[in-house]
Amino acid sequence: MTFVVAEPCVNCRYTDCVEVCPVECFYEGLNFLVIHPDECIDCAACEPECPVTAIFPEDDLPAKWAEYKEINAKFATEWPNITEKKGSLPDAEKWKDVQEKRKEFQEAPAGG
């Protein structure tokens, strides 16, 4: 099993989770983070650190966000690895409680 970053991360991209990851399995997009499923060791260190509750064990991923399993797997091979905590996106506080943010998801890598 692995952990999956889901929709609540969109337009927030808090990186508290990155700071505690012992295997550096997070990858950074323009407005989202993903976890590489083949690198995650299922330690669960990241899950409680997420301020928007966007990280779930694969088996507990809400059905409404099932597509994020594939999104994590795909973009973890395309986006740059992130290994240190950074500031959140400028409007993160505005977006953190917004529901149904899928249309806001951007496929571009960080800095792209």
Residue 27: phi and psi, rounded to 5, are -130, 145
Q: Mean pLDDT across the stretch 5-24?
A: 97
Q: For residue 52, what pLDDT is reported?
A: 97
* 112 pLDDT above the threshold of 80: no
Q: For residue 63, what pLDDT is reported?
A: 98
CB proximity list for 36: less than 8 A, separation 6 or greater = 25, 26, 27, 72, 73, 76, 77
| Residue 5 DSSP label | E
Q: For residue 71, what pLDDT is reported?
A: 98
pLDDT tens figures, 38-89: 999 999 999 999 999 999 999 999 999 999 999 999 999 999 999 999 999 9
Q: For residue 4, what pLDDT is reported?
A: 98
Nearest to 2 by CA among 66, 59, 68: 59
Tokens of 31: 């407005």
Q: For residue 111, what pLDDT is reported?
A: 81
Cβ(76)–Cβ(18) below 8 Å: no
Taken in order of first residue, the domains within the chain and their CATH numbers are 3-82 (3.30.70.20)
pLDDT tens figures, 84-108: 999 999 999 999 999 999 999 999 9
Cβ(92)–Cβ(11) below 8 Å: yes
